[in-house]
Amino acid sequence: MTGLPEADQRYLQRHGIPVQVVCEGPHTGVVLQQVQLPENKFDHPAADILVILPPGYPDVAPDMFFCDPWLKLVTVGRYATCADQPHVFSGRNWQRWSRHNSAWRPGVDGLHTMIKRIEHALMEAK
């Protein structure tokens, strides 16, 4: 987990969240490994979720998140709204979930905030 702020490392360790930190050029990505998804919501029970940390993080908010495998909603058999575009990062073809954050609080928010936003987006996906 080198390359992550200490607060993020502590949070991930304390919550037992397995991660892989990957770099591609100047970009650092945090892959949350095999995240359990809301039951009966998607066509897969778990997925890797990528958060790309922008320059200036944690004072600057991560924008969007990415899933692999690609997820479809079970009830309608399609991708969730604003989650149907590809994004290649570190040799993988990720499903981009376009969810923007305008309420980021520098010095307060971190990866823990992003994880909660991801959980909410997955739960509320339509």
Mean pLDDT, the chain, rounded, equals 96
> Is residue 1 domain-resident?
no
Q: Minimal CA–CA distance to 112: which of 10, 2, 43?
A: 10
Residue 75 counted as domain residue: yes
Q: Quick check: is 14 in a domain?
A: yes
Q: In this structure, how many other beta carbons lie within 10 angstroms of the beta carbon of residue 29?
A: 20
Q: How many domains does the chain have?
A: 1
Q: What digits encode the pLDDT tens for the residues 55-88?
A: 999 999 999 999 999 999 999 999 999 999 999 9
Assigned domain for 29 exists: yes
| Range of the structural domain that residue 42 is part of | 6-124
- Of 68, 66, 121, residue with least CA distance to 96: 66
